[in-house]
Structure formats: C-alpha cells, structure tokens
C-alpha cells in the first residue's frame, strides 16, 4: 500500500519505519525535519527491533495515498494537514494522537468522517530528527470509523494491536495514563525518577486520581489500555494515596532507560507541548462534570512556565502541590 505518515517525531517516525519494514510504500510528510530525513532516513531502535528506513519525504502530498496516518501533536493537526488537504479529501486517515476525540477534531479539519483513532502504550523517544528509540513495548488500540481497516494494517507491523469496542473509553484511559506526563515535564526528570521521589510521586498520583474521577463520571464505557484496566482506574479514583501504586508500576515497566514522556520531549526540542490537551483536558472535563482538578490545573500552569522561560521548575515547588 501507499501509506502517508504525516509527522515524523517519535510516534510518526516509529510507524513509518515499521510500515516500511513490513513492505509498504511509505511517504513521510515532514516540515522542520525534512532535510535530515531525506539525507539520513529514519533509524528505529529498541523494543520493536532495529530498522533503517528510507521513505519518500515530502512537504505536502501531491496525490492521494491509499491511507494516511496523522502522528503530530494535537495542536499541530491543522497546520500539518493543510498543505495535503486536497490529497486527503476522501482518504481513510488514522489519528494516532493523545487527547479526547482526536479523530473527531481531525474529521472536522478534513471535512469527512473516514477518520479512525489510535493510541499506544509503548514508550517512544526521539530527541533528534530521524532517530527513534522504543524504550518500552506495549499495545496499540484502534477504533472509530475505519477502525477495522487500520487495525488490520497495523497488526502486520506492530506486535500487539487491538480493535477497541469504545475508542472513547480507551482515550479516557490513556488520558489517565498521560496524567503522569506533567510532573516530569515540569521538573525535567525522567518518569522513573519522579516515581521514586515521594513528594513528586504524591503529585503524580494526585493528578492521575483527578483524571480517573473525571473518567468514571463521564459515563463512557471505559476500555483497558495496556496494563491500565477499568479496575486500575477504579483504584486511581479511590484516593490520591491509593493511586500511588499505579505510577510506581508504570515506572517499573519502563525499565532502566530514562523515559521522559512526550511532554518533556517537546520541551527539550524547543517545541510547544500539548499539555492543554492532556492535563488541561482533565481540568476542562472535570469542570463540566462538577468536579475539581486543582493539581492538574497547577501543573498546566507550571508546564507553560517552563515553555515560556526555558527553565525547569524546582522540585520543591512541584512537590508542594499535593
């Protein structure tokens, strides 16, 4: 198949390399990293194996591919899709993005509903263009319109792919997982180091607790995402203290290679983060549901401070949030 991958960061680079390894004709739509990718290709390392891919690299699609995968941050969706909008007018698209209703937002941008959603529990790091290291394996969950098509496509390239009964429920579960992203991004530590620090662990658990309360109150049929099951979400929602077991288990699953989380990776690359669609989405949803999410609200402010100043926040300021 001719597959377009829009976005060549950690997720897009990984998918482009794996689909290339599976024998597909891959074209990558990239902006800032285009020159490096044309010269060096994409090197994949780590838990999904090693592969050097040399996909076509373009600024915009000149003709429709068979399918496309959008793997940018949510805040970059419109800008990334605009140059290729005509070529994607009736093409099935997979939004491999964080946040709630990612596929709905992409469908609004493209003007058609042939948009599926996917999320992964694997940890990918890409701090330099064209080099992607998978530091922890995991599953990929796919759903929504065109979900069966993309689940079949990815199943031939990724080790564990599952078609979700409710992609919205899976997105809520992943949002609860991603609630662990903000503390490392604020202090500049790895997720493992934050989980090992009692004060930062309390804050991380409190953020996840707020997220899980909102998830349960949303009324959506929650799905398991990796090791995070509806039962895990119930533990997270019980109390901030009880919730601490979850980020500790997550950190153990990452192994010895420092996992920075996607938000901190964006900061270290000098890019805008999608914190407003992660911790910020928890705040918005909690408010709509009549709940409070003060820890997530404070973390949003701190991450924006880091973006604005370029300096990570002192550990004690973050630990004081819970």
Q: Which helix (H) or strand (E) holds 140?
A: strand 140-143
Q: What is the dihedral of CA 181, 184, 188, 189, to 10 degrees?
A: -130
Q: Are 2-164 and 169-319 equal in CATH topology?
A: no
Give the Cβ contact number of residue 110 at 10 Å: 21
Burial classification of residue 252, based on how many CB atoms lie within 10 Å of its CB (0-12 exposed, 13-18 middle, 19 or more buried): exposed
Query: 215-246, pLDDT tens digit by residue?
Result: 999 999 999 887 788 999 999 999 999 999 99
- DSSP-assigned letters across all residues of 167-202: HHHHHHHHHHHHTTSHHHHHHT--HHHHHHSHHHHH
Question: What burial letters (b/e) apply to 198-219, b meaning 16+ CB within 10 Å?
Answer: ebbbbbbbbbbbbbbbbbbebe
Q: Which two tokens stand for residue 104?
A: 């709905």
Q: Which helix (H) or strand (E) holds 35?
A: helix 34-40
In the chain, where the domains are located: 2-164, 169-319
Q: How far is CA 90 from CA 28, 80, 83, 103, 116, in A?
A: 19, 17, 15, 15, 13
Fold of the domain spanning 2-164:
Rossmann fold (3.40.50)
Return the CATH number of the domain spanning residue range 169-319. Answer: 1.10.1040.10
**CB 69, CB 15: distance < 8 Å:** yes
Q: How far apart are CA 30 and CA 19, in angstroms?
A: 17
Q: Which helix (H) or strand (E) holds 56?
A: strand 56-58
Determine phi and psi for 56, rounding to 5 degrees: -60, 145
Using DSSP bridges, classify how beta strands 123-128 and 131-136 pair: parallel, antiparallel or unpaired.
antiparallel
All residue ranges of the chain with pLDDT < 70 are: none
Using DSSP bridges, classify how beta strands 161-163 and 93-96 pair: parallel, antiparallel or unpaired.
unpaired
Which residues neighbour 264 within 8 Å (Cβ) at sequence distance 6 or greater?
181, 184, 185, 188
In this prediction, residue 304 carries a pLDDT of 98
In this prediction, residue 123 carries a pLDDT of 85
Predicted TM-score (pTM) above 0.75: yes
Query: 282-319, pLDDT tens digit by residue?
Result: 999 999 999 999 999 999 999 999 999 999 999 999 99
């Amino acid at each position: 198949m001719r597959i377009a991958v829009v976005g060549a960061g950690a997720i897009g680079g990984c998918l482009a390399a794996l689909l290339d390894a599976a024998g597909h004709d891959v074209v990558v739509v990239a902006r800032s990293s285009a020159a490096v990718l044309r010269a060096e290709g994409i090197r994949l390392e780590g838990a999904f194996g090693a592969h050097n891919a040399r996909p076509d690299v373009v600024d915009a699609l000149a003709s429709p591919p068979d399918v496309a995968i959008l793997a940018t941050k949510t805040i970059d969706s419109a800008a990334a899709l605009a140059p290729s909008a005509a070529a994607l007018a009736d093409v099935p698209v997979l939004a491999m993005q964080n946040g709630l209703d990612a596929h709905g937002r992409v469908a609004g941008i493209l003007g058609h509903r042939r948009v599926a959603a996917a999320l992964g529990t694997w940890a990918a790091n890409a701090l330099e263009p064209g080099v992607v290291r998978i530091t922890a394996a995991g599953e990929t969950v796919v759903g929504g319109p065109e979900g069966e098509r993309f689940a079949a496509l990815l199943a031939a390239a990724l080790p564990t792919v599952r078609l979700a009964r409710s992609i919205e429920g899976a997105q809520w579960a992943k949002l609860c997982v991603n609630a662990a992203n903000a503390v490392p991004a604020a202090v500049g530590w790895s997720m493992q180091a934050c989980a090992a620090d009692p004060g930062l662990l309390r804050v991380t658990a409190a953020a996840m607790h707020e997220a899980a309360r909102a998830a349960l109150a949303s009324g959506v049929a929650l799905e398991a995402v990796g090791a995070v099951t509806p039962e895990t979400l119930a533990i997270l929602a019980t109390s901030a203290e009880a919730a601490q077991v979850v980020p500790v288990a997550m950190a153990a699953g990452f192994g010895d290679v420092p996992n920075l989380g996607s938000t901190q990776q964006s900061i270290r690359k000098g890019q805008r983060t999608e914190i407003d669609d992660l911790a910020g989405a928890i705040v918005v949803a909690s408010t709509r549901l009549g709940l409070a999410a003060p820890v997530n609200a404070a973390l949003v402010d701190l991450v924006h401070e880091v973006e604005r100043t370029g300096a990570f926040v002192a550990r004690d300021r973050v630990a004081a949030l819970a």
